[in-house]
Amino acid sequence: MKAFILAAGLGTRLLPHTSKKPKCLIEIDGKPLLLWTIERLKAFGIKDLVINLFHEGHQIENFFGDGSDFDVSIEYVPEKVLLGTGGGVTNALNVLGKEPFVILSSDVWTDFNFCHLSLNSEILAHLVLIENPVHNPDGDMFLDGNLVNLEGKGKSLTFSGIALVDPKLFNRDKKGNYELWTEVFLPASKKGLVTGELFKGDLININSQKDLEKLDAYLAEE
């Protein structure tokens, strides 16, 4: 199984850290965020990685190379203009192949067990959901059994940034900048093609200096 790591963002919420480097190269406990992600994937046997590049992307390629120094294989997909989360995946489909693949953000630290990810028959995406964080109190969606819906009873949940997807979910002819949630997952969920699970483990999305400090403190206690 391959994994597509989203690493093309500008990281503007972490300025000045990201003025001259990608957010995923910010170091926590002596290692870049992206290396934590790669090591987590490798621990569960996911070693074929595809990474999109935009802001200072050459720094990522220079640091990780082809991945062999880290016991993984890395292919890079540069973007001439920023394509967003959805456009970034579509732009990389030829490299990702025809089998289901993992999508995750390079700025998410987690202890999630990637072996849990699977797609049921006729399902095109499986999303990992979390309890609503402070910055998204209203959530994104509901779980109806294991199906993801926009409307539902009970407590709403937030998309973690981790998913397993079938490449058939994407329109290969769609070009330009667009987002996964609004233009891919949302329409598919309305057709009953998206399942989800609630993850109650540790996951920190690095969007601010406070998030960096939170992760640093967490790792110091490990």
Query: Is a pLDDT exceeding 80 seen at residue 151?
Result: no
Between CA 15 and CA 75 the distance in angstroms is 28
Indicate the pTM of the whole model.
0.92
* Number of domains observed in the structure of the chain: 1
Name which residue leads in pLDDT, 80 or 214.
80
Residue 59: give its domain's CATH number. Answer: 3.90.550.10
Lowest mean pLDDT among 4-8, 67-71, 190-194, 201-205: 201-205
What percentage of residues in the chain have a pLDDT greater than 90?
Answer: 66
Could you list the residue range(s) of the whole structural domain that residue 92 is in?
2-221
For 193-208, write each residue's pLDDT tens digit.
999 999 999 998 887 7
Per the structure block, which two tokens stand in for 93? 């489909």
What is the pLDDT of the chain when averaged over all its residues?
Answer: 91
Q: In angstroms, what CA-CA distances link 156 with 133, 136, 214? A: 11, 10, 24
Using a 10 angstrom Cβ sphere, with 0-12 exposed, 13-18 middle and 19 or more buried, the burial of residue 42 is: middle
Give the amino acid at 37.
T
Per-residue pLDDT band for 116 (boundaries 50, 70, 90) equals confident
For 70-98, what is each residue's pLDDT tens digit? 999 999 999 999 999 999 999 999 999 99
Q: Is the dihedral of CA 141, 147, 151, 153 positive or negative?
A: negative
